[in-house]
A and B are shown apart, each in its own frame.
Chain A
């Protein structure tokens, strides 16, 4: 049984001046999958997902999401269609409280009813374990907690595709275990694309792994296949 393809790219490229950050990438992501995107630093992973969610425009190629060509669609419309992105470098509303941060992510789907918003936000904060910090100013929290807030804001949008850019960076071991549990739960009704350096997290979560290097996909397969792949090992050892 072939799963429905939620997201695909054809010939997707991005050039910065002479630098080919992403070159001619064909990529397919079936609905419901947890996919990990790995590769050495500077392989073009963040550039690639930034094109998917519309933060930066593609130089060439095509992006299809849920059957629609979204290549030229502005970022906020893609987000409205169900692509949520959590930033690699934490990006939250510093001066607002933790609850207000999450409310802003929830209110687009829920509307502005105060009671409903607060309830939905608190439920989310409970899930990521930040409920006891709901009143705190977001910037005052420790870095690891800010990462969790980012994830809560990603979930708050009830996305069809959740893109997580190095979500476990700066989390403690205990928090990482919670994170893995959380993503497994989320993945029941959400497709997840995960950029991750922590190989344990990748192995624990990913159903399939895509490996990028020098702006191109060099391998794709199950965790076992990737583990055994010589090209991948060469890229990591050489890179």
Chain B
């Protein structure tokens, strides 16, 4: 394939990655923004979303669409409830102290991952996409006869991948509407701004925290349900989304939803594009070092003024 078509393909792949990453990172960003909690188990909630999606889609049977739609609703809900319960039972008792919470979520990471290994098993399982038409993409070249279009071999995407992008946009807009326009969003923003004052105004902060933690995890699970027809569900699949979400949230500025979305698109796209042309390992090395350097040289700007 020539460079041009190759680039188009890379951009398309990047878009799909960016879409899923946006949802996952939004969840992490929301939790950090409102609760000042770094949730290391976030990637495991992503993984749980994928595994539950497999479970739901499989147990329902029938047309793939039915199973997929059921998974789309049930899996994030289930993950959200689980996460909220974990917050209520564990993190609430640590007073959401930043250091202790990090350690506890590391523990939660292992518990979730290992219980999945013990029940779901070490194998990866696919979920059948609800629809999956191949869409060939035309390319052009200049010949003696002028501009000509043709369909290069290998340059294609699927209807499902386009659906993932569209679904992520809809979900992202939903989160924005919720935060900016709803009463719940107002309560979340008030809690984020000043926990003490929110408490004084009668906002049940602990319950808001549990809700936020659950909602953040549900967003990750939603991203996972979308991705699982493309990438199989596996108990170790939470690592990459966690790392990438960290990168996105730090580059985008913690707690800033707009920054998170922009950074997710940037990182998702560049990760997709770089992985097509270069080694994915090299791309990850550069990304991790970039994050470290951003934190080192602009810590206040990105993490706010909150020493632990």
Query: A contacts B directly in the complex (CB < 8 Å)?
Result: no
